[in-house]
Structure formats: structure tokens, C-alpha cells
Amino acid sequence: MTSRSIAGPEIERLIQLLAKLPGLGPRSARRAALHLIKKKDQLLVPLAEAMGVAVANVGLCSVCGTVDTKDPCTICSDPRRDASTIVVVEDVADLWALERAAALNCRYHVLGGTLSPLDGIGPDDLNIAGLVDRVSQGGVSEVILAVNATVEGQTTAHFVTDRLAGFDVKVTRLAHGVPVGGELDYLDEGTLAQALKARTAF
Ligand code: ZN
């Protein structure tokens, strides 16, 4: 039996693209596509417009490496945030998770991954030089390493600590609450807030 299309190629393409989103398989992608099409004016059109604006403007912050539509980003250019505390994360998802916990009024630095020799990811592939740069400019009193409690995360934390050893800055790490092997993005706000408050010297 040859496979038959259920709709024109434009809709098939919409379903195929939606199916690539995290958490959506082919079945939920079809449901999402149908929902978008039925709610054309309330959802499909505004979503297409928002995506167009994002495509035109989104990029990486030249200071911290997060994604935003302006550079420096919303966080880096917010004068109400304490610039003397930098929380180092592996990924933007971790930054967003920590912001949901709302435990600190701080700045961030996104490494863009972890050291992983097996995958050929070395220090130059991560945004570590940018962090050293920020610290070397002064005004930073504490760097909090909020990396995942994985082998790669801890290896990266040790490397970053070594690179910051020559500067007058306190380097701390997350303590209680983060399970071994745990990923920050999956923790609830209470656990994250606890882990931040109970941070220890690295
Ligand atoms: Zn930034």
C-alpha cells in the first residue's frame, strides 16, 4: 500500500516541522497543526508574525551569551540587577529555570555546553574566555557555578574554577537539592532556590 497524504504539501510540511519540536511526536504535531489551522486568526497568524520578528531579531548576547532580541540582552542591560554576582550556566534553558526560581537578582553567563573530550568539545568551544574577560574587568565579587551535577558539568566547573584562580573573586557552586546526574531544567523552583541559597565555596 502506498502512503497517502491527508492534506496538501503545505500542511504536511507544517506537521513535519512541528513534529521536530521537543515533546511533540507526529501524533501531537498533527493535533497542533490542526489546532493552529482551525484558530487561524487567533493563533496561526499571530504565531507566524511572532516567528517572523524572532527570525529577524534574535541572536546571542555579546556579554553573557544568552538568546535575546537585543544586544546586550535584557538581563545584561537591566541596571537593577546586581552586576557583582554572575551565575554560570551550561545552557539558556538553565538560565530560564533559575530565573523561574527567582532566588537571586543577578547577572548570568551561558557557557553553551560542557567540556566533553569524547565529543571533541574543548575549552575553546565554550564561552569560557568571555567569562574570564568579564571577571578580569573587575566589579565581580562572586561567580556561582550552576552547572548540572553530571561528570561533564563538574569537570567543566573545575576547569572554570582554575581559570578564575588568579582573580579576586569568590567561586561557589550549587549545593543541596541538585540530585547527582540531575539536570537543572527539570528541577522545581523550590529545589532550585534551595540549591542556590545553600551554595558552597568551590
Ligand atoms: Zn546578556
Residues in the chain: 202
The CA 61 to ligand 1 mean position distance, Å, reads 5
Does residue 165 surpass a pLDDT of 60?
yes
Domains in the chain: boundaries: 9-57, 67-173
The CA 66 to ligand 1 mean position distance, Å, reads 6
DSSP 139-170: ---EEEE---SSHHHHHHHHHHHHHTTTSS-E
Give the whole-angstrom CA distance, residue 92 versus residue 98. Answer: 10
Give the pLDDT band (50/70/90) at residue 148: confident
Which CATH code fits 67-173?
A: 3.40.1360.10
Give the whole-angstrom CA distance, residue 173 versus residue 80. Answer: 24
The CA 110 to ligand 1 mean position distance, Å, reads 9
Give the pLDDT band (50/70/90) at residue 55: very high
Does residue 200 surpass a pLDDT of 80?
no
The fold of 9-57 is Helicase, Ruva Protein; domain 3 (1.10.8)
The CA 4 to ligand 1 mean position distance, Å, reads 48
Question: Whole-model pTM?
Answer: 0.78
